[in-house]
Amino acid sequence: DFVDKVVDGAGGLVLVIWKDRYTFGCFLDCGLRLPAEHPVEQDYIAFDCPMCFFSLEGHFDAPTRMPIGDVNMQGVSVSRRGSARAPLWWGVAHLVISYMQYLSIGWTPDNDTDSSVGLDSMMQFIKAPDVPDGYSGVRGYNNSALLAGHDTYKADEMLVLRVT
């Protein structure tokens, strides 16, 4: 189960995503956390975690680390309950990595709480000021970097690695 692979535990977490000709992902220097088993008012938890995005293919001449500023270092993880989603101004997601430079996993638009949406349904962009020089990938709204070639997409594949 995806949640069992990414919550709690010591060490970091690497997510590698493939979409068409692009390979990219993120590194979190912590495990994700679940809210209390029976939260009274919310099904998600927000927490600080050092993190960065990276591109392995399709955006730069060589693999490139894309650090994000301290103000953006926040991860959001939701509970195991199937309908639980982190509320976002642009929809809902099972897992949001970083609050200002987004990678939303299990994403659906318009607060749709359909629990059948797979983890391969994603939304991602990095704001233009945080994109390193040399980026040759697709740009979106306000010149943001779209690592999958679109801001919303279904990933071809995702790999989750624990770093200890």
Give me 119's structure tokens: 């983890």
pTM to 2 decimal places: 0.82
Locate the domains of the chain by residue range.
2-163
- Please check the confidence at residue 73 and state whether its pLDDT lies above 90: no
Q: What is the DSSP letter of 29?
A: S
The CB-side HSE value for 54 (13 A sphere, CA atoms) comes to 14
- Which of 26-35, 73-82, 150-159 shows the highest mean pLDDT? 150-159
pLDDT in tens, 44-60: 667 777 788 899 999 99
Collapsing DSSP to helix, strand or coil, 135 comes out as coil
Q: Of 37, 36, 56, 34, which Cα lies nearest the Cα of 47?
A: 34
Q: Of 117, 132, 130, which Cα lies nearest the Cα of 82?
A: 117
| Dihedral sign from CA coordinates of 163, 60, 99, 80 | negative
